[in-house]
Amino acid sequence: MDKRLVARNFSRYAHLYDSYADIQRKTAGRLLDCVKGGNFTNILELGCGTGNFTLSLRDKFRDTQIKALDISRKMVEIAEKKLQGGNVEFIVSDAEEIAWPEKFDLVISHACFQWLTDLEKALERCQGMLKENGRIVFSAFGPLTFQELNVTLQSVLKSAPIQADFFLNKEDLKSALGKYFKETQIQETRYEEYFLSLKDLLYKIKYSGIRGSGIGNKKQIGRRILEELEKDYLNRFSRIKATYQIFFCQGRKI
């Protein structure tokens, strides 16, 4: 995965992100429930985006120091405008390259981990940034996300631009978490979303950043191909729907 392309895609459409990030908003509360009742003096948030989840964190833990980082400078700039001053510090950085002497009570991330290039190394790094008995809590999209679109793309174009390989499967998550954390838990939720047209779904993917590194297939999806894709989609599924598979993961430092 090209991290520069990921950052460029998120930055390019940062100003539209909040209008299209419905799934991220729906799942934010579920992630916050995972830390309900927690007592943290400081928190590190990875992949803060435009700051929506950061705002919820700040409201829940008003006396806690929060460091929130994202690879996209444009995203961070929008987040900073939402949360000026107070107990939140924003940083532009790659979550896989940070190295701070500071230790945290909690490392948390909402819908970011699927864009990391090396899950195990990222979890090892997170473990190293946690205090004794510190916690990691994160959500990530699973490989069944956009399964309907993938089937249609493979049927019509003989390839899948929104590759399921970009998303994390449950067994890999379980294995990697178990190497660096104890008391691990992985819960799964699926959501379905419906669209008036295939074009609306593709816009949603484009502007919400869920595609991450972009469309891998180099073919241009012109009007004729789009019509063919939509016809195939409707024949298979009756409606233009999208499945989102989301894992909620947590553990405690060994």
Question: What domains appear along the chain, each with residue ranges and CATH number?
Answer: 3-146+164-192+245-253 (3.40.50.150)
Q: How many CA atoms lie within 13 A of 171 on its CB side?
A: 0
CB atoms within 10 A of CB 63: 8
The residue to which tokens 């502007």 are assigned: 207
Q: How far apart are CA 227 and CA 189, in angstroms?
A: 31
Q: What is the widest separation between alpha-carbon atoms in the chain?
A: 58
β-pairing verdict for 130-141 and 240-253: antiparallel
In tens digits, the chain (254 residues) has pLDDT values of 666 777 777 878 888 888 888 899 999 999 999 999 899 999 999 999 999 999 999 999 999 999 999 999 999 999 999 998 789 999 999 999 988 889 999 999 999 998 899 999 999 999 999 999 999 999 999 999 999 999 999 899 886 555 556 788 999 999 999 999 999 999 999 999 999 999 999 999 888 866 554 444 445 678 899 999 999 999 999 999 999 999 999 999 98
Which residue, 150, 141, 148, 171, is CA-closest to 216? Answer: 150
Q: How far apart are CA 240 and CA 117, in angstroms?
A: 31
Indicate the pTM of the whole model: 0.91
Are the C-beta atoms of 69 and 46 separated by less than 8 Å? yes
Are the C-beta atoms of 29 and 112 separated by less than 8 Å? no
